[in-house]
Structure 1
Amino acid sequence: MYVYEFYIEHPMNYVMTGKFEAPSPNWVHEDFPLTDYELFVVTKDTLYISYNGEPFTINEGEFLLLPPLPPPNNRRKGIRPSHCSFYWLHFSIDHEVALSAIPNSRHTAYPYTVPQYTIAIPRQGKIPHAEKIVVLMKQLQDAIRSNYDSTTANYLSTTILCELYSQFYRENNVSQRSKRTQKQMYYDIIDYVKSNTDKNLKVADVAAHFCYNEKYLSHLFSNIAGIPLKQFILNVKMDAANFMLTDTNASISEIAASLGFTDSHNFAKAYKKIAGLTPTEYRNAFFKRLLYHV
């Protein structure tokens, strides 16, 4: 993926803008030289164009950003007929623009590496909310028709590029942010369960603590941990029970109470289901093993 880096502490220089609608299905983009940057935002059908010998296919809801190149490499022309519609914006800049080739595996993290007052815009991509870009393009066109000063046109042009930058990277990072958020929630659940082994903790209690739907939280945890949240809560309690059975002189009743069980019978039943032994059998077997190895 090729990405342009624009420095925007000062606005872009507006050149011209408009909307084009192909008059027929046989329309083909004419062969014209490009002397400044041009942004295409396709709103209907598909635009087929080549630039500097490279073909581009821009579908509805996608954009293409072309840079000025020295002649004769700056000619853009249609390569297939299309009954398309698109908004276009020409602008220039007063600084050099970096063009970087970013691996697809890194493009979502790339914006966080660019300098301050810099936006990174791919050469081509899908616009998550194209209608917002169209609204800004219409506002720019209205400003031009109303004879607004050049400063306004410059800032409106820059706003369009900033919106494109924000949309592209914000939306493409949603899944990554979601995964990070879910992972953090998973670790928060683990910490909460481990710090509340003395309570008769249920899945509903955990969900209520984090203000989440019980089914959603259970599904989230199970997807990451590979076991149900209810099972994890019980496993944590059993790990704590193993420690107290082998490293303390607490009675079975005291251990059961400290782990939030209503009585020692329920504790012993739950423990045997996990360990295959009663708490007393486990404690005795442990000390016999110690004695054997002394």
Structure 2
Amino acid sequence: MEMQEVIHLYTMAPLTFIDVITEKISSETVLTKYKTMSHVGGLMFPINGEFEVRIDGTVYVLEKGYIIHAGPNLPIERIVTNNAKQEYAVIHFKLPDEVRAMYPLYNGHFTFKIGDNMKLMSMLQQLIQNYFMRSNLSFLQSKALFLNILEEIVLSVKLLDYQDKKEKMSSIIEYMQENYANNMTVPDIANHFNIERRKFTYVFEKRMGVSPTTYLTDLRIQKSKLLLRSSDLSLSEISEKVGYTDYFYFSRVFKKVTGLSPTEFRMHMK
């Protein structure tokens, strides 16, 4: 699941606030299997402690820094594994039937990270207090708070997604700089990071301004230029040290990038 899909759901879908509930549970609580409400989705927030939730056969951990989304009419079971008391809240909301096909993620179940967001948890507590005041005005305020909570969720998801991608790109660049001498290709790098090749190329170019092929080629040529200037290694040896097993191919690439053959470059540097 892509975080952009989550962002699209919570920003574009016409979600309507229904209610909010809280519950405290422990190992002594009688836990029964049940289904989420028909036509109503929910967001589960941990308040105290953590426990497992099985939704339609998939087990999630409801813990600090994470939220669980569960769509309508899904089998659900809470699993308490210790004696500590846990508390959680669920915000229920509805998506009109006529547009549900446009937002398939709404009907599913998934968990996502929001980080240690004190502002979001404060907004949740305010929503709970407002809703249980049981007045027309407090319900109106609850609906507004629900939208504010969705906005804060989206901001948190965007920030964490950006940080994760930035960290992953740093790891990719570091990996390329450490392994350029190996006869690796762009698909090899994508496979190493478990990213589909086309997506890898798209994200890399968007972040770095050049394609991964161009970056890897430039890196190898820069390293070869350094060796041509500072060593007496043969051209074939230099070719192998920068990741090219075919010297003639290396020579063609070198000339295409620099305008000179490796031999001409070395003579020019002396």
What TM-score, normalized to structure 2? 0.48
Larger-Rg structure: 1
What TM-score, normalized to structure 1? 0.44
